[in-house]
Structures are given as structure tokens and as C-alpha cells.
Amino acid sequence: MTVSRKFPNSRLRRTRFTSVIRSLVAENHLTVDDLIQPIFVKEGLDGIESIDSLPEVNRFGLNALDDEVARIQENKIKAIAIFPVIDPLKKDDRGTESTNEDNLVCEAIRQIKKNSELAVIADVALDPYTSHGHDGVLDSNGYVDNDDSLPILVSQALTLAKAGADMVAPSDMMDGRIASIRNMLEEKGFVNTIILSYAAKYSSKFYGPFRDAVSSSASLGSGSKDTYQMSVANIDEALHEVKMDIEEGADIVMVKPGLPYLDVIKSVKETFKVPTFAYQVSGEYAMLKAAIQNGWLSEEVMMESLLSFKRAGADCILTYAANQIAETLNK
Ligand code: PBG
């Protein structure tokens, strides 16, 4: 800080005088290129279905997916993150359906890639597929077994890469998963498949509406993910996680949740200077939407919240509001 001009030489209000001047001096901008739309596809669903805890977000049947993809493309959004809601009868304790090459998410990816230019991000984690709702498999004590989970996650990632996913996004927080997935992708010739690592993913209570959306909350019950997702108290550990994931072969790292963790986004970006995404998770979105719907907050809080991610250093934001915000930005 070298500036030492004093009042009235320095009146900071001069550059706030008109909206034109304000936009000229704006330090950060939110554009549609910053937005990624998560979408839920549901097996056996005809058309669309709303989600109680996520206002204005829907689950889509495969027969309703093309219209939504067209809307996202019209809004000039470049990427989507896809999450499956599978037939409960297909869930088992090892998440077997996750590695079926004709499973719901693979079908959806093929359909989207055939009909659009969108980049598709596919989650690597077993929770939509396990009867217990955990991201990995359990040992005989009910503990999520790291090394037993890895080969399943690796074959899930291969299944997704084969289906055409541009990015595989491990969100499971097992140790060593990035190296295992990277080795497999190189070996199988998927040298340009991006690994978007949910590197600093906290064991947050802000994921509630998402777990309703993919109906894993019923399976998980009162169980928590504290033994694999990060403690909400830590930031040094987040930098450690990110460092390991970059060394193991991650191309892009993610911090999640977003708004309560802007300090983490900022530290990660400043420390590593690699592409850094952030996830405005379901609970953050639901919280703002609920207040907006009650008339307690104005709709502009969504934009303000997302701009704060840019200020913190995020290159891209996954947000359920992507379509809505894009429509405003494109006006
Ligand atoms: C699955 C996964 C979760 C989210 C993204 N991938 C839930 C969880 O870890 O329990 C959360 C997204 C959100 O809340 O919007 N591993």
C-alpha cells in the first residue's frame, strides 16, 4: 500500500459517482464463462420433477434432458456437472451400478455429448449408488475403507471417461484417489480427460438439499462423512489436500462449500496458482432462495454472493443458479 493522498485530494466517492464510472473501476466481474450448471437426472422419470429443498431446480428424466441442455446452451453456459438419481433397487453396499457402462449417468453423458457442445463434468463417488449412502465401501466395522474403495472409484472414473465425460470429478475424499485415477486414465489412453478434484471438500451441513435431490439422505440416515471429508475447522489441511492432489495429477482443484469458505478459496488460489473452482452448494443456494422467496432479501443477493467467489479468486463456480444468473447477465 503506497498511496498516501489525503482528503480532499482523495475523495473515494468520486469513482462511485455514476454507474458508468463504477463499472469502469470494477475490479472483478462475473460472466457466463464463470458458471457451471449442476443437473440431476433421474432414472425412469418421465419429464421433470421439482425438488422441495431446492427451489427452481428440477430432476430431469432422460426424455426431458435435451430441452434443458438446449436452454443451458442458449444461455451460453459452457459446462454442466451431472448427478444421477438411480433406481433404489439398483443400490447395493458396494455401489456396483456405478461401474455399469450402460448406467443412467453414462446414458445421459452420451445423449448430452451427441446433442451439444457442452463440457460434461461427472462426479466420481459412490453415494448415489450405495445402499448406505457413503462415498466409498464399508469394512466390517462400518468404517469407510479407503483402499478397498479406490479400485471401485477408479473403474467408475473409467466408465465415465469412456462414456465421454470431459472431466471426471472425484468428490469422495479418499486418500490416493487422484493418483490411482490419473494412472488408469494414462494407461487407458484417456490422456486429455481432465481430473477436477474436489480437493478441499468439507464435512459440511450445507449439503442437505443435494442429498435430498439424489435421495442419498435416506440411505445415509444419521451417519456422517466426518471420517473422510475435512473438518470445518481447518485451512492448513485444505492446502495440504490441494498440494497432494496437484502432485498426484489433478488439473483443476475445487473448494466446497463456497461462501462460508472464501478464505480457503483465496489461500488455495494464492498459494498454488492453478485453476481453482468453487461450489456454491445446495444449502447455500437454498438459504438465499428461501429468503428471496419470502421477500426478506432481494434477488440480487445471488449475484453478490457469486461475485464474492470471484473476489476470492475462483476461476469458475458451480451453482444451481447458473441458468438464472446467465439469463440476467445476457440481458
Ligand atoms: C457426492 C457429492 C455431494 C455433493 C456433490 N457431490 C454430497 C456429499 O458429499 O454428501 C454436494 C453438492 C451440494 O450440496 O450441492 N459425493
Tell me if 288 sits within 8 A of 297, measured CB to CB: yes
CB atoms inside a 10 Å sphere around CB 48: 16
Catalytic residue among 42, 91, 201, 225: 201
Q: Which of 284, 138, 133 is nearest to 204 (CA)?
A: 284
Does ligand 1 lie within 6 Å of residue 127's CB atom?
yes
Instruction: Read off the pLDDT band of 220 (50, 70, 90).
Output: confident
User: Which residues, in sequence order, are CB contacts of 44 under 8 Å at separation 6+?
Assistant: 61, 87
* Mean of pLDDT values over 172-188: 98
Answer whether CATH 3.30.300.250 is correct for domain 30-221+234-329.
no
Does ligand 1 lie within 6 Å of residue 53's CB atom?
no
CA 222 to chain centre: 23
- Check whether 218 has a pLDDT greater than 80: no
Closest atom of ligand 1 to CA, residue 172: 16
Does ligand 1 lie within 6 Å of residue 219's CB atom?
no
CA-proximal residue: ligand 1, atom 7 (nearest) = 207
What are the tens digits of pLDDT across the range 74-125?
Answer: 999 999 999 999 999 999 999 999 999 999 999 999 999 999 999 999 999 9
What are the tens digits of pLDDT across the range 14-51?
Answer: 999 999 999 999 999 999 999 999 999 999 999 999 99
* 272 CA → ligand 1 middle, Å: 24
CA-proximal residue: ligand 1, atom 2 (nearest) = 171
Q: Which residue of 135, 152, 210, 318 sits with most ligand 1 atoms within 8 Å of its CB, as the best mutation to test the pocket? A: 210
201 is catalytic: yes
Question: 185 in the Ramachandran plot: left (φ > 0), alpha (ψ -120 to 50) or beta?
Answer: alpha
State the pLDDT at residue 316: 98
What are the tens digits of pLDDT across the range 127-141?
Answer: 999 999 999 999 999
Does ligand 1 lie within 6 Å of residue 277's CB atom?
no
State the pLDDT at residue 329: 97
Tell me if 281 sits within 8 A of 294, measured CB to CB: no
* 203 CA → ligand 1 middle, Å: 10
310 is catalytic: no
